[in-house]
Amino acid sequence: MIETVNLNARQRDQVLPPVASFTVLYALHYGAFGAASPFLPAFIEERGFPPELIGILFGAGTAIRLVSAPVAGRIADRTHALRLILAACAVATALAVMCYLPAASFWLLLLVSLLHAAALAPTTNLADALALVASRRGRPVGFEYGWVRGAGSAAFIVASIIAGWAIAAHGLSVVICFQALLMLAVPFAVARIPPVDARTETAAVTRAGIAALLRLPVFRRWCWSRRLSLAVTRCTTRSR
């Protein structure tokens, strides 16, 4: 009887934490995105920089994301430390975004923008890798990934609304602190999610697999819709 009770307690510890911990992780992570991403162009424009320089800043940030995300993912796979790399990137993002506050010249802002983009880009892929592997585990430990991802989307919206209210009262600089605080909370959420054995639960990335992904019409439409939504968000923010 005692062994049965202990087994049931261990099962409850395994069943409840994955969904709850991933929901908290995604809420913090995408809340950090929603708190600052829609308002960052306006924050830089408030510093007196013209649109062409703002375009260079975000263009360079987009370019560095194409490098940092795969590199961080490869390091995480090689070291079998997805949670550690995710936590480190979250802390680095918080430190980098705070550097926007004292940066006054264009070159300093460019450096900060590159550091911020390089640290932030891998967090989404690493969180998805952890969540997708955990969600595929057998019942009752496994869960529906869509619900966790939906919680992240809801957190993005809520954080954007709260940030808008805070900006009205305290100015655009508040979104920098908002994102930093949420990103600093991410490692505590990461500590609660189950580890992933990358040696047995992740598939190798091949050129044929990448080509097959790029040939999917659904994936191409998603990429274009994502680009369009980001462009609309930035134009709307700048028009304000």
Q: Do 97 and 166 fall into the same domain?
A: yes
Indicate the DSSP class of residue 81. -
Cβ–Cβ < 8 Å for 9, 114:
no
> Can you give the pTM of this predicted structure?
0.74
Q: Do 104 and 221 fall into the same domain?
A: no
Q: Do 111 and 214 fall into the same domain?
A: no
Cβ–Cβ < 8 Å for 3, 136:
no
Residue 197 within a domain: no
Please report which residue ranges of the chain form alpha helices under DSSP H. 2-36, 40-46, 51-79, 82-98, 106-135, 145-170, 174-190, 198-201, 207-214, 217-239
Q: Do 185 and 217 fall into the same domain?
A: no
pLDDT of residue 211: 75
Range of the domain at 224: 203-240
Q: Residue 112 and residue 49: Cα distance in Å, rounded? A: 15
Q: Is the pLDDT of residue 236 over 60?
A: no
Residue 4 within a domain: no
Q: Do 214 and 117 fall into the same domain?
A: no
Q: Residue 238 and residue 41: Cα distance in Å, rounded? A: 7
Please, how many CA atoms are within 13 Å of residue 240, restricted to the half-sphere of its CB? Answer: 15
Query: What is the average per-residue pLDDT within 73-79?
Result: 87
What token pair was written down for 229? Answer: 């939504």
- Output b/e per residue, 17-43; b: 16+ Cβ within 10 A: ebbebbbbbbbbbbbbbbbbbbbbbbb
Write out pLDDT tens, residues 99-112: 999 988 889 999 99
What CATH number should be reported for the domain holding residue 94? 1.20.1250.20
- Count of structural domains, the chain: 2
Please, how many CA atoms are within 13 Å of residue 226, restricted to the half-sphere of its CB? Answer: 6
Q: Do 209 and 116 fall into the same domain?
A: no
What token pair was written down for 205? Answer: 């990335």
106-135 helix and 51-79 helix, angle to the nearest 10 degrees = 40
Q: Residue 162 and residue 175: Cα distance in Å, rounded? A: 10
Q: Do 103 and 165 fall into the same domain?
A: yes
Range with lowest mean pLDDT among 73-87, 189-203, 217-231: 217-231
Phi and psi dihedrals of 172, rounded to 5?
Answer: -70, -25
Q: Please return the burial class of 223, using the count of CB atoms within 10 Å of its CB with bins 0-12, 13-18 and 19+.
A: exposed
pLDDT of residue 200: 45
Q: Do 40 and 90 fall into the same domain?
A: yes
Instruction: Give 88's pLDDT tier (boundaries 50, 70, 90).
Output: very high
C-beta neighbour count of 197 within 10 angstroms: 10
Write out pLDDT tens, residues 200-215: 444 566 777 777 767 7
Indicate the DSSP class of residue 48. T
* Pairwise pLDDT comparison (218 vs 237), residue with the higher score: 218
Q: Do 230 and 163 fall into the same domain?
A: no
Please, how many CA atoms are within 13 Å of residue 82, restricted to the half-sphere of its CB? Answer: 23
Indicate the DSSP class of residue 39. T
